[in-house]
């Protein structure tokens, strides 16, 4: 029994952490509102240092206000309310400078059930990160609505026209309408696939099914597909350096990476699209270059974000998700991707994936 108690004490000691180790902001006050402690994260979020706050009243040093301008601490009223109340729901609050924080609190009672409030533990989270997430979700909804409206309107319009006036059209006119419907249906399917990829990447649920992949063969297949779709064959150039080591990759995702990068080069670039494959120290590197306007160095960090559209890309089409997906797929293989100015003046996207058997390759 004594040994069990010793083990329990050791575990308890190991689990004891300083409040400055907590990732969220923490303020501790007594039931009268006098500040007892402030951790480093709370000081960073509010701009109020611990030595300035401790011993003073909450409303003087942390004057949180709701959207209607009401004093949060006064509304909290730790000494009032039901004695069973121990948690205060999280809500957005503002400091006088306009900064938004998400604030929640726990009322520590002695005794725990129905006792008087002894302390109030207040946790703070940065409202900026949540606001950015909400803006990203709003952008996603806006993009989906915009991208779906045009093809669905086309599908509905042509289908309704064919159903009501089938006999009035020639076979050639019917074929053109049906081809348009088919192409727009493909566009909707591609958008849904992209959204599913984004969801899997953000949630960490992207699965990588590895097999031996011949990267030059996959590159030739992507180029052949673009040529079959109407692009001039002489617009593409494939360069493979020496003999490449064995790579264990997800073939479908490799095709998606290459296809997205080539499509990006065709949409935004001019002249020849060059794909270059070579062995590097820890893996195989693939570069896709165009001869377009290129990307300014200060814009490079934004390229792989969701909904990034450079220059006049909005009129050229695209959802702004392709490069975000490419980055997620490359990193799921344990690789890296960068963008820089190409020797010919355009943009060069270069990704590197590790070589080796599945036992040594990184899985998602």
Q: Please give the mean pLDDT across all residues of the chain.
A: 85
Residue 38 pLDDT class (50, 70, 90 cuts): very high
Q: What was the pLDDT predicted at 97?
A: 80
Averaged pLDDT, 86-103: 89
Looking up residue 156, the CATH number of its domain turns out to be 1.10.287.130
Q: Which of 337, 232, 346, 238 is nearest to 289 (CA)?
A: 346
Q: Which of 173, 203, 233 is the last residue of a domain?
A: 203
52-61, 192-201, 207-216: segment of lowest average pLDDT: 192-201
Q: What was the pLDDT predicted at 235?
A: 94
**Separation CA 238–CA 241 (nearest Å):** 10
> What is the C-alpha end-to-end distance of the chain, expressed in Å?
45
Whether residues 183 and 115 share a domain: the answer is no
Residue 12 within any structural domain of the chain: no
Residue 19 within any structural domain of the chain: no
Spatial neighbors of 133 by CB under 8 A, at least 6 apart, are none
Q: Are 22 and 42 in contact (CB under 8 A)?
A: no
Parent domain of 136: 131-203
Whether residues 217 and 347 share a domain: the answer is yes
Whether residues 283 and 314 share a domain: the answer is yes
Domain count, the chain: 3
Whether residues 51 and 156 share a domain: the answer is no
**Separation CA 177–CA 180 (nearest Å):** 5
Question: Looking at the predicted structure, is the pLDDT value of residue 130 above 90?
Answer: no
Q: Which of 100, 127, 154 is the last residue of a domain?
A: 127
Q: What was the pLDDT predicted at 359?
A: 56
**Separation CA 280–CA 155 (nearest Å):** 48
Looking up residue 54, the CATH number of its domain turns out to be 3.30.450.20
Residue 267 within any structural domain of the chain: yes
Question: Looking at the predicted structure, is the pLDDT value of residue 136 above 90?
Answer: no
Question: Looking at the predicted structure, is the pLDDT value of residue 3 above 80?
Answer: no
Residue 304 within any structural domain of the chain: yes
Specify the higher pLDDT residue, 302 or 209: 209
Whether residues 148 and 108 share a domain: the answer is no
Q: Which of 203, 224, 243 is the last residue of a domain?
A: 203
**Separation CA 339–CA 299 (nearest Å):** 10
Residue 5 pLDDT class (50, 70, 90 cuts): very low
Whether residues 238 and 350 share a domain: the answer is yes
Q: Which of 64, 63, 36 is nearest to 50 (CA)?
A: 36
Cα Rg for the chain, rounded, in angstroms? 29
Spatial neighbors of 103 by CB under 8 A, at least 6 apart, are 64, 72, 90, 91, 92, 93, 122, 123, 124, 125
Whether residues 166 and 123 share a domain: the answer is no
Q: What was the pLDDT predicted at 193?
A: 84
Question: Looking at the predicted structure, is the pLDDT value of residue 224 above 60?
Answer: yes
Residue 269 within any structural domain of the chain: yes
Averaged pLDDT, 102-120: 92
Q: What was the pLDDT predicted at 318?
A: 57
Looking up residue 345, the CATH number of its domain turns out to be 3.30.565.10
Spatial neighbors of 70 by CB under 8 A, at least 6 apart, are none
Whether residues 343 and 256 share a domain: the answer is yes
Residue 193 within any structural domain of the chain: yes
pLDDT 10s digits, 282-333: 899 999 999 888 888 777 878 888 767 665 444 445 567 889 899 999 999 9
Phi, psi of 156 (to 5 degrees): -65, -45
Averaged pLDDT, 164-173: 93
């Amino acid at each position: 029994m004594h040994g069990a108690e010793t083990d329990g004490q050791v575990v308890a000691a190991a689990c004891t952490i300083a409040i400055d180790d907590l990732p969220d902001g923490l303020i501790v006050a007594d039931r009268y509102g006098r500040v007892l402690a402030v951790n480093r994260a709370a000081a960073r979020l509010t701009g109020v240092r611990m030595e300035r706050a401790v011993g003073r009243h909450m409303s003087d040093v942390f004057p949180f206000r709701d959207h209607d301008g009401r004093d949060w601490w006064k509304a909290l009223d730790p000494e009032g309310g039901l004695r069973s109340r121990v948690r205060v729901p999280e809500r957005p609050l503002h400091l006088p400078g306009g900064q938004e924080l998400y604030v929640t609190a726990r009322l520590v009672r002695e005794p725990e059930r129905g006792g008087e409030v002894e302390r109030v533990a207040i946790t703070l989270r940065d409202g900026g990160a949540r606001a950015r997430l909400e803006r990203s979700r709003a952008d996603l909804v806006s993009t989906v609505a915009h991208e779906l409206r045009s093809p669905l309107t086309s599908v509905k319009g042509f289908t309704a026209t064919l159903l009501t006036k089938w006999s009035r059209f020639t076979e050639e006119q019917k074929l053109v309408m049906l081809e348009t419907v088919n192409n727009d249906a493909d566009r909707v399917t591609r958008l849904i696939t992209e959204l599913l990829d984004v969801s899997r990447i953000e949630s960490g649920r992207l699965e990588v099914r590895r097999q031996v992949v011949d990267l030059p063969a996959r590159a030739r297949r992507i180029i052949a597909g673009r040529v079959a779709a109407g692009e001039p064959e002489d617009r593409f150039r494939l360069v493979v350096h020496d003999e490449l080591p064995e790579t264990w990759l997800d073939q479908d995702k490799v095709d998606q990476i290459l296809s997205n990068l080539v499509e990006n080069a065709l949409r935004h670039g001019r002249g020849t699209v060059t794909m270059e494959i070579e062995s590097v120290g820890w893996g195989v590197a693939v570069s896709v270059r165009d001869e377009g306007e290129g990307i300014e160095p200060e814009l490079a960090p934004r390229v792989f974000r969701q909904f990034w559209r450079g220059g006049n890309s909005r009129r050229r089409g695209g959802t702004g998700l392709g490069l975000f997906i490419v980055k997620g797929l490359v990193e799921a293989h344990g690789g890296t991707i960068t963008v820089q100015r190409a020797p010919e003046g355009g943009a060069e996207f270069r990704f590197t994936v590790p070589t080796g058997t599945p036992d040594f390759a990184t899985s998602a």
